[in-house]
Amino acid sequence: MHLKDFLLVSPDIQSSDVLKAIETAIPAFAIEQAIANTKTEEERRRSLPAQLVVSLVIAMSLWSKDSMRDVLKNLIDGLSESWVKVGKYWRVPCKSAITQARQRLGARVMSQLFHQLIRPMATQETLGAFLNGLRIVVIDGTFFDVPDSDENARVFGRPSSRPGTQAAFPKVRLVILVEAGKSCKRYTAGCWGIGQSGY
């Protein structure tokens, strides 16, 4: 099952509103705590500190069609200084520097952050979040290609193919369970649980 490409139905929602929602859902202190818990703090000051790289990974999932550099620039321009701390003379690094920063960060800090924040958000007062006392949830799924290596194939497996052939690119399957509700005449959703094959 693939998630469909979509456009925002309401043209009223600006990037600044999306960035404010990110700051509300993922507080800066939670990112700092996840970095500390996984011991991924930098030993020296870098142009791409771990907190900024975490923010970039989150934002890349929202603006997946944009380049990493464009997403990073938008983050710096749009997020508050309390959420993303960079120096006064900071410049957008090159693509290879961003890639290296993501590799240094690794996956553990994102997993830690997820487990720190994951929880149901709706209350009994949230309109449209419950039906006959049961929480309303939506389930969806997708899958992603991962680099074509033997290690990834062992962990994630390969898609089926014709006999005698081997499909390229192992797949990561992602299943998402999201609670649904209606608040302030706008629909809101909070992530409630995620499962995937491997990490």
> pLDDT tens digits, residue range 111-153?
999 999 888 888 888 888 898 889 999 999 988 888 899 899 8
Least confident of 20-29, 78-87, 147-156: 78-87
Look at residue 85 in the predicted model and tell me its pLDDT: 61
Look at residue 109 in the predicted model and tell me its pLDDT: 93
Q: Could you give the count of Cα atoms lying within 13 Å of 146 in the half-sphere of its Cβ?
A: 20
Please, what is the average pLDDT of the chain? Answer: 77
Domain ranges of the chain: 15-117, 130-196
pTM: 0.65
Banded pLDDT at 43 (limits 50, 70, 90): low
C-beta separation of 72 from 60 below 8 A: no
Mean pLDDT of 70-85: 70
- The values of phi and psi at residue 185, to 5°, are 65, 10
Tally of helices (H runs) and strands (E runs) in the chain: 7, 5
- Chain segment 80-117, per-residue pLDDT in tens: 565 566 656 677 888 898 889 888 888 899 999 999 98
Question: How large a percentage of the chain has pLDDT more than 90?
Answer: 8
Mean pLDDT of 62-91: 73
Q: How far apart are CA 59 and CA 9, in angstroms?
A: 20
3-state SS string for 99-114: HHHHHHHCCHHHHHHH
